[in-house]
Structure 1
Amino acid sequence: MESKKILQMLDNYASEFEFPVLDNYNFDLAQCRLTVFKKQAEWLIIIEMVGARNDAIENVIYAYGNCIKQNGIIISVDNLVSLDNDEWWYDDDGKLVLNPLRLKLNIQQEQIEISPTKEDYKKYGIEMEPFSLTKLIRFLSSQYSEKLWLSTQELLMEVGIQNKMPMFFQIKEWEHPDISQGQVPSDSPFFQQLSNAIENNDISYIKLNKPNTHWSNWTWSDLDT
């Protein structure tokens, strides 16, 4: 495989908006993760975006590779976080049914119950009022980040790979191109390095420069602003 072909594939999907846009008008980012699988000449890049979309908390899965039939956005997993009583997030008047100072939730079927303060939210750059699903998932990300991801086996299953495929590389912070401003993956030093690493089977090609994937870098299009 050639790194140029990998970048060309990513660029093609970016031009069709089938590549993660971190300042998406319809989705507020809380955390993201990139995982690479590799087996001989086969390669696979999966990007997870956890965040809020109007009335749902989701993990949106994107995948690219030479070993899968479908590339681009694959699925949106919307059952990661739920109220403990299985009620809907909003009442009949459209008001969020949630007390930000007393959270009783299920995260991937595990029950949590915490009582954060306004200062706890503020410590992570979150103004508690008015409360929203965006602020909830960003706070949960600060406390339970690892619980919000899919397992490697779940990721492979979601993209249609039944057999085991070794994980080659995984990262939560990298320099992501600003797709909404016309940038493409090949403009990003990180994706240039990543494609070289895949081609040469050597992760030492990857040198982190200016990571920008923290949600605080992509708030101008937030749904609740």
Structure 2
Amino acid sequence: MTENQILQVLDKYAKDYNFPVLDNYNFDLAQCRLSVFRDDNEWIIVFEIVGVNPSLYISNDIYAYGNSVESQGLIIGLDDIVSLPNEEDLFDDEGNFLITPFHLDLIINSEPLIIKPTEGEYLELGIQTELFNPTKLIRYLSSKYKEKFWLEPLDLLNEINMSEDFKLFYQTDEWEHTDEEKPSENKFFQSLAKAIVLNDKNLIQFKKANTHWSNWTWSDFEKQEED
């Protein structure tokens, strides 16, 4: 494997619109994470993009790329990670969101969570509680319980149908993601490719992390409705 080969794969799928776009008209971002697996000859880059999908359900969309990954790009959207007790739906028959902001009684990845956030807690995060919706909910939950939404490394490998023998090389939820440039033109992905090839994660660099959801809100579903 070479740096150029890695970047060519990422560029190919970005050109085909099958690479994570954080200001996505079809997905409201809450949190994201990048995991890299490698061995002497093989590499895998996996993205977890957690937020709200077009069906207005909270989802963890898994993207995977690598020189031994058969199916690359968006692999699966896990949209059953947040539910109400007793397997109730998040919406009523008329499409109204049933969760209120100040009393959250939820099941997150099979674990119960009961909390009573205050107005101030939401406002500190830049979240308005009027017209409460799934995007506001997951962005609040992400600020407090981010770890509940990630998959374990072995679960990630299973979701993309790769051997559990791969070792986790690097993992982060803070990096400088592409905006309009190709991955091969992005300093972070350039350095990531070099680090993978040389097996040295100290080579990874970027100027400023931009992966927090607040950097990518202009395409939110809510704003699309206003337009």
Equivalents in 2 of 1:131, 1:55: separation in Å?
Answer: 12
Matched residue type, 1:42? E
State the percentage of identical aligned residues: 50
Structure 2 spans left out of the alignment, 5+ residues = none
Asked if structure 2 preserves the Cα contact closer than 8 Å seen for 1:55 and 1:89, the reply is no
What residue is the counterpart of 1:18 in the other structure?
18
How far does residue 155 in structure 1 lie from its aligned partner after superposition?
0.3
Counterpart among 189, 192, 195 of residue 197 in structure 1: 195
SS at match of 1:224: helix
TM-score (norm. length: structure 1): 0.96
How far does residue 163 in structure 1 lie from its aligned partner after superposition?
3.0
- The residue correspondences of 1:26-105 to structure 2 (distance < 5 A) are 26-53=26-53, 54-105=55-106
What residue is the counterpart of 2:211 in the other structure?
213
How far does residue 95 in structure 1 lie from its aligned partner after superposition?
1.1
Asked if structure 1 preserves the Cα contact closer than 8 Å seen for 2:33 and 2:47, the reply is yes
Equivalents in 2 of 1:164, 1:145: separation in Å?
Answer: 26
What residue is the counterpart of 1:134 in the other structure?
135
How far does residue 79 in structure 1 lie from its aligned partner after superposition?
1.3
TM-score (norm. length: structure 2): 0.95
Q: Indicate the RMSD between aligned Cα atoms, in angstroms.
A: 1.0
Aligned residues: 222
- The residue correspondences of 1:102-117 to structure 2 (distance < 5 A) are 102-117=103-118
Matched residue type, 1:187? E
Equivalents in 2 of 1:27, 1:76: separation in Å?
Answer: 11
Equivalents in 2 of 1:82, 1:163: separation in Å?
Answer: 29
Give deviations 1:125-157, integer Å, cap 9, x for gaps. Answer: 111111000000000000110010011111000
Asked if structure 2 preserves the Cα contact closer than 8 Å seen for 1:36 and 1:46, the reply is yes
Equivalents in 2 of 1:107, 1:98: separation in Å?
Answer: 14
Equivalents in 1 of 2:219, 2:87: separation in Å?
Answer: 29
Equivalents in 1 of 2:20, 2:81: separation in Å?
Answer: 19
SS at match of 2:22: coil
* Displaced runs of 4 or more, over 2 A: none
Asked if structure 1 preserves the Cα contact closer than 8 Å seen for 2:154 and 2:164, the reply is no
Matched residue type, 1:22? L
